[in-house]
Amino acid sequence: MDVVELTQQLVRIPSVNPMGLDHTDSPYLEWRVTEFLEQLFTQQQIPSQRQYVLPKRDNIVALFDPHGAKGANGLLLLEAHQDTVPVTGMTIEPFSGKNEHGKIWGRGSCDIKGGMATMLAVCSRLMKEKPADAPTILMACTINEENGFDGIQHLAESWSTGQFPLLDRLPDAAIVAEPTELNVVVAHKGTVRWKCHTTGKAAHSSSPDQGENAFYTMARVLTALEKYANRICQSEASYPLLTPPSLSVGTIAGGVSVNTVPDHCTIEIDRRLWPNEDADAIYQEVIQCIQQETNLGDRITHDPPYLKSLGLASDNNQSLSQRFIAAAESTGIASHAIGVPFGTNAGTVATAGIPTIVFGPGSIEQAHTADEWIAIDQLRTAEEILFRFCANGLK
């Protein structure tokens, strides 16, 4: 199984995340990729299992067991998400999978179909070459990473309730695919997101004194949030390898017409968390801060968080990352343990008690871009690194 051809095949199958919108038609949702993977596993006579998560959106998990050891040589989880971000605004054909100038082009090539192809190619090579120390591999391809992490949460829940897919035990280690330029991510931030509303009283704009403008109230909220954001990013505290926590307001909505005093305004708040920060506690901290700064009482309300994703802490993955970096360096490249500000599925996997790192070909700079691509030499080197790591065994 050639990693480059497989990347091209995966890019040519649209699996665009609807990003919370109600889309059931082409090219949305992951089901075509799930079907492709299921066929691929069947052709290779690899046992696989679907996990229903959402309508037309299944995780698929496969068990590659080169020695039929059922995990006696260790069980390694390899995880890659099936979805991509939308294609709106792309300047190249999104699903061409074209091979040109040493790169594979198209949506998902970098994030993360190239990484998924790398893992699949390594699994198939392990089955063929059967290195003596190779562990059993659980390959999980999950849904909805780009907008809610439902797929990985579902997989992690199945472990916690004893419903182990395909093999009745928890993996000993995990590698989550994301573009890291062949470095090893050992720490990343988590996220909490929610909506904040201000309310007022509608009135004709010719008599604004008869109303209460919800926008003016929101302006005071925004000023409080800007102050809070500046304060946390200059905090004295530190977390190894990570930049300070951050807060951003990403959307604002309200108003019916220019001649009406608005009685409602809504913003969406995105707070990035260190792995040792609790999402619910931080949510309360921000709410209290707004209240103290504005003193506007019940004219400001907050929905409960609609997204909470966990950060990845670096305290449980040191020996795993060291062994992985040694495998990378044996191929003649420099690979470093790094921290990144963006979230991945690794935080959720690690919380199940599994030492977890993030690794993959390509750079996050090319992910989600208008002309997304991945360099072929990154794909081939990533395959060699991951193969060597697996061949060395988990012990």
Residue whose CB is less far from Zn ion, 146 or 212: 146
Kindly report the three-state secondary structure assignment for every residue of the chain: CCHHHHHHHHHCCCCECCCCCCCCCCCECCHHHHHHHHHHHHHCCCCEEEEEEECCEEEEEEEECCCCCCCCCCEEEEEEECCECCCCCCCCCCCCCCEECCEEECCCHHHHHHHHHHHHHHHHHHHHHCCCCCCEEEEEEECCCCCCCHHHHHHHHHHHCCCCCCCCCCCCEEEEECCCCCCEEEEECEEEEEEEEEECECEECCCHHHCECHHHHHHHHHHHHHHHHHHHHCCCCCECCECCCEEEEEEEEECCCCCEECCEEEEEEEEEECCCCCHHHHHHHHHHHHHHHHCCHHHEEECCCCEEECCECCCCCHHHHHHHHHHHHCCCCCCCEEEECCCCCHHHHHHCCCCEEEECCCCHHHCCCCCCEEEHHHHHHHHHHHHHHHHHCCC
CB of 33 to Zn ion, least distance (A): 14
Q: Binding to Zn ion by residue 65, rule CB under 5 A?
A: no
CB of 181 to Zn ion, least distance (A): 14
CB of 275 to Zn ion, least distance (A): 19
Contact stretch for Zn ion (CB under 5 A) within 13-21, 174-182, 199-207, 251-259: 174-182
CB of 147 to Zn ion, least distance (A): 11
Residue whose CB is less far from Zn ion, 79 or 178: 178
User: Using CA atoms, how far apart are residues 1 and 33, in angstroms rounded to an integer?
Assistant: 17
Residue whose CB is less far from Zn ion, 177 or 352: 177
If binding means CB under 5 A, how many residues of this protein chain bind Zn ion?
3
x/- mask, Zn ion, residues 94-133, rule CB under 5 A, reads -----------------xx---------------------
Residue whose CB is less far from Zn ion, 143 or 224: 143
Considering only residues 240 through 259, tell me which ones interact with Zn ion, judged by CB under 5 A.
Answer: none
Contact stretch for Zn ion (CB under 5 A) within 26-34, 172-180, 330-338, 377-385: 172-180
Residue whose CB is less far from Zn ion, 109 or 217: 109
CB of 244 to Zn ion, least distance (A): 23
Residue whose CB is less far from Zn ion, 133 or 365: 365
CB 115 within 8 A of CB 179: yes
Residue whose CB is less far from Zn ion, 112 or 143: 112
Residue whose CB is less far from Zn ion, 74 or 151: 151
x/- mask, Zn ion, residues 354-373, rule CB under 5 A, reads --------------------
CB of 335 to Zn ion, least distance (A): 19
x/- mask, Zn ion, residues 176-195, rule CB under 5 A, reads --x-----------------
Q: What is the largest CA-CA distance in the chain?
A: 82
CB of 135 to Zn ion, least distance (A): 24
CB of 85 to Zn ion, least distance (A): 9
Chain residues in the site for Zn ion (CB under 5 A) = 111-112, 178
